[in-house]
Amino acid sequence: NAGVTQTPKFQVLKTGQSMTLQCAQDMNHEYMSWYRQDPGMGLRLIHYSVGAGITDQGEVPNGYNVSRSTTEDFPLRLLSAAPSQTSVYFCASSYSRASGTDTQYFGPGTRLTVL
């Protein structure tokens, strides 16, 4: 299994540009989530999904959209990038829909810079 994969690894955007961060897992996991990691702030939950067709907001959802059309994929969209979205983004997945009882597996991260 490849586990949780994320693309791209690095990205530089200009303010106002849009882009999609890709996340895929091949472990048939129900639960997937997106976090951003900023110095001194830890990991903050952006959006999560407990299964295909179901998404919900986390702690810091503003400026980000998600969809979950398949079990495997959980893309994160930035519609109009802002410098405040400069961060490292991690995707994670776990087997159970009841994510709180299950280990999360993290991807390698995408380092995004917005100029």
List residues binding another protein (CB under 8 A). Answer: 31, 33, 35, 40-45, 48, 50, 56, 58-59, 90, 92, 97-101, 103-104, 106-109
Q: Given the complex with another protein, which of 33 and 85 has the nearer CB atom?
A: 33
Report helix, strand or coil for 55. Answer: strand
Q: Given the complex with another protein, which of 12 and 41 has the nearer CB atom?
A: 41
Q: Given the complex with another protein, which of 13 and 21 has the nearer CB atom?
A: 21
Rg of the chain in Å (alpha carbons)? 13
Q: Among candidates 75, 78, 39, 43, which has minimal Cα distance to 62?
A: 78
Q: Work out how close the CB of 18 gets to another protein at its nearest, in angstroms, rounded to a whole number.
A: 26
Q: Work out how close the CB of 101 gets to another protein at its nearest, in angstroms, rounded to a whole number.
A: 6
Whether omega before 8 lies within 30 degrees of 0, making that bond cis, reads: yes
Question: How far is the C-alpha of 29 from the C-alpha of 95, rounded, in Å?
Answer: 4
